[in-house]
């Protein structure tokens, strides 16, 4: 949750320290332990400090090599701290146990840009290399830590949030039409380089950046183009190795002097985190404080999972906090939520987060472990395609008809359809479709179609601009796609941003590079031999630890009823916020009058929050955000 800031000029013009100090003021919420800045020649760097360990309390940033040739700022939590220190060997300028930032600078000094391949953790950092006259920056594989930048012929500026850059001379709040078009088309924001502000870019997850006077480019370092070596063990050994790596990931994320909390929804993923933590504290006495668990409850809503979270809490014995999710008008705080995330994608249940934050603050919890990434890492892909491709045709059909995973998701028909498409091949499909109109995604009549047509190339983008990773089977290809999906990575990025405003750092044990690389090494045949349950590899790994009540859950919780109830309560106040049609800011993007025709119809959870209610929330959120761009650098 710490923050960074920096300005580098390409020539000899001195970098203004006062501007960096101003950039830090914008993110003061990220630095409860102090704001620090320093300038040397044409580079100024700043850091908002958030201490979780006593050993780093007196280690401030920015830091420099003794000869001044390199300087660094970082928002980083390295989970292979000891391993990296050993690999570096003797570093003459280390005075005692190095901080994560010192390790990063020493790693860059030793291995250059290849240092990122040795890192395991959540990080966003920048190194100014005086000898090469360039800035090197890198961001962890899942984008847990944020990094944004703006560049021109004068230099480059960077920070942890776009609003830091928007306060600088020469950086405007002009919206990026391509990003808005993509958001309107899909209903979600995808985390490519571009942000909602023209000229303000993000360093993408799993990429490093090199910026100099004559060039600027990003390059992917994770996932690697070559797939991991196949795991050769049995299904049982696969489950054991998964649990070993997962438990280690939980242990590393609890290893600190500060008190941590663990989200506990009652689903498989958050339950797995809590069960692994219980294992850790049962087998030995860690030096870290014993964590607590926290659950959100939804009385009278179908999405309430209290019966499952209570079962996990009772079994593990951790102190259990409960926050009741309110269902009140969210409109009064909407503008603040829009401005926090620098995008028209607010969190409408901000009051729910506030309730949980109050409980955490009372317990002085500074870190929260989540189950985020569990769905993307351990969900079972479509094995029928790999079975068919390996000429096991009857097995593929049986899988579609009888496998409990398929039946549970009511996916038999869609599985069989995929098999038909796989069997006839893309060439024959093209022949059969010749002369027929190409199916298109449904476009709401309130979206400006000419805007979509103008930015069609942006709409067609996918996660990999260059060489894609290659896997031996389609199942692993699916998992890799899920983990690198720009919409998923944006969700992780936005969660980090909002938690920082709450004074909390998020950590995600499922988003662990070692664990992900192991899962991507497991052949589909090995996973298919595990007991056919929902999220089979995770259930097999947890074994007897998972309470029977949770194991026998019929389905995942769906929150449409809660979201629709929130929107129904807030709708009158929302519509009042855009009632003045003489000063609409979104006219070139949406036809608000067309959307308004649907604003009076009843909202139903059956039609869904995303599809059924989108005509209400999306154009309204965009209009309110555009109207208030002048306050984009507001602090909280």
316: tokens are 């593990």
Peptide bond into 223 cis (omega under 30): yes
- Give exposure, 199-211, as e/b (b: 16+ Cβ within 10 Å): bbbbbbbbbbbbb
End-to-end CA distance of the chain: 15
Q: Is 269 annotated as a binding residue?
A: no
CA-CA distances (angstroms) from residue 122 to 138, 231, 249, 281? 11, 26, 12, 24
Which of 493, 490, 485, 486 is CA-nearest to residue 146?
Answer: 493
- Total residue count of the chain as it appears in this document: 636
Q: Are 149 and 209 in contact (CB under 8 A)?
A: yes
Considering just the CA atoms, what is the radius of gyration of the chain in Å? 25
What's the CA gap between 583 and 414, in Å, rounded? 47
DSSP E strands in 357-424: the ranges are 365-369
Alpha-carbon torsion angle 34, 39, 45, 51, nearest 10: -30
What's the CA gap between 18 and 15, in Å, rounded? 9
What's the CA gap between 315 and 311, in Å, rounded? 6
Sign of CA dihedral 467, 471, 473, 476: negative
Residue 78's beta-bridge partner residues?
Answer: 121
Complete DSSP assignment for 511-553: S-HHHHHHHTTS-HHHHHTS---TTHHHHHHHGGGS-HHHHT-
Binding-site residues for L-glutamine: 100
Binding-site residues: 100
């Amino acid at each position: 949750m710490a923050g960074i800031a920096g300005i580098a000029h390409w020539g000899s013009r001195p970098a203004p320290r006062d501007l960096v100090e101003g950039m830090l003021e914008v993110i003061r919420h990220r630095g409860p332990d102090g704001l620090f800045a320093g300038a040397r020649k044409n580079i100024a760097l700043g850091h908002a400090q958030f201490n979780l360990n006593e050993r780093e309390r007196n280690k401030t940033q920015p830091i420099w090599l003794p000869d001044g040739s390199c300087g660094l700022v970082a928002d980083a939590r390295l989970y292979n701290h000891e391993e990296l220190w050993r690999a570096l060997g003797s570093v003459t300028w280390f005075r005692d146990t190095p901080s994560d930032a010192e390790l990063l600078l020493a790693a860059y000094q030793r291995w250059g840009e290849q240092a990122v391949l040795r890192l395991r953790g959540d990080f966003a950092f920048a190194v100014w290399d005086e000898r090469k006259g360039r800035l090197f920056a890198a961001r962890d594989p899942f984008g847990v830590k944020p990094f944004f930048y703006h560049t021109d012929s004068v230099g480059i500026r960077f920070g942890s949030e776009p609003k830091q850059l928007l306060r600088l001379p020469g950086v405007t709040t002009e919206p990026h039409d391509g990003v808005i078009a993509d958001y309107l088309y899909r209903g979600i924001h995808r985390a490519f380089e571009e942000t909602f502000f023209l000229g303000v870019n993000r360093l993408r997850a799993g990429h490093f950046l090199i910026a100099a006077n004559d060039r600027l480019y990003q390059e992917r370092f994770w996932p690697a183009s070559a797939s991991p070596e196949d795991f050769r063990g049995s299904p049982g050994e696969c489950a054991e190795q998964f649990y070993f790596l997962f438990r280690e990931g939980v242990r590393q994320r609890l290893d600190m002097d500060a008190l941590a909390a663990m989200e506990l929804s009652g689903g498989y993923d958050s339950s797995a985190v809590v069960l692994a933590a219980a294992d850790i504290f049962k087998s030995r006495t860690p030096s870290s404080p014993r964590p607590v668990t926290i659950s959100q409850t939804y009385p009278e809503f179908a999405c309430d999972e209290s019966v499952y979270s209570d079962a996990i809490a009772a079994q593990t014995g951790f102190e259990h906090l409960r926050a009741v999710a309110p269902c009140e008008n969210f409109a009064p705080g909407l503008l603040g939520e829009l401005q926090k995330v620098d995008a028209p994608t607010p969190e409408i249940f901000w009051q729910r987060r506030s309730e949980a934050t109050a409980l955490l603050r009372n317990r002085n919890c500074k870190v929260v472990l989540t189950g985020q990434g569990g769905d993307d890492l351990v969900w079972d892909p479509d094995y029928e395609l790999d079975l068919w491709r390996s000429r096991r045709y009857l097995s593929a059909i049986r899988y579609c008809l009888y496998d409990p995973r398929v039946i549970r998701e009511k996916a038999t028909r869609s599985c069989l359809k995929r098999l038909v498409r796989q069997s006839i091949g893309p060439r024959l499909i093209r022949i059969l479709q010749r002369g027929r109109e190409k199916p298109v995604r449904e476009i709401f009549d309130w979206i400006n179609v000419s805007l979509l047509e103008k930015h069609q190339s942006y709409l067609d983008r996918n996660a990999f601009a260059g060489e894609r990773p290659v896997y031996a089977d389609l199942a692993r290809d699916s998992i890799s796609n899920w983990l690198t999906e720009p919409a998923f990575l944006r969700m992780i990025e936005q969660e980090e941003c909002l938690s920082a405003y709450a004074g909390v750092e998020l950590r995600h044990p499922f988003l662990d590079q070692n664990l992900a690389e192991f899962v991507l090494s497991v052949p589909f045949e090995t996973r298919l031999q595990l007991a056919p349950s929902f999220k089979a590899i995770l259930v097999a790994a947890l074994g007897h630890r998972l309470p029977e009540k949770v194991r026998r859950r019929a389905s995942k919780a769906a929150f449409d009823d809660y979201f629709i109830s929130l929107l129904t309560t807030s709708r009158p106040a929302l519509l009042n916020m855009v009632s003045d049609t003489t000063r609409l800011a979104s006219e070139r993007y949406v036809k608000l009058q067309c959307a308004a025709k649907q604003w009076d119809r009843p909202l139903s959870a059956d039609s869904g929050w995303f599809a059924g209610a989108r005509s209400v929330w999306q154009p309204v959120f965009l209009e309110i955000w555009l109207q208030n761009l002048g306050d984009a650098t507001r602090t909280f």
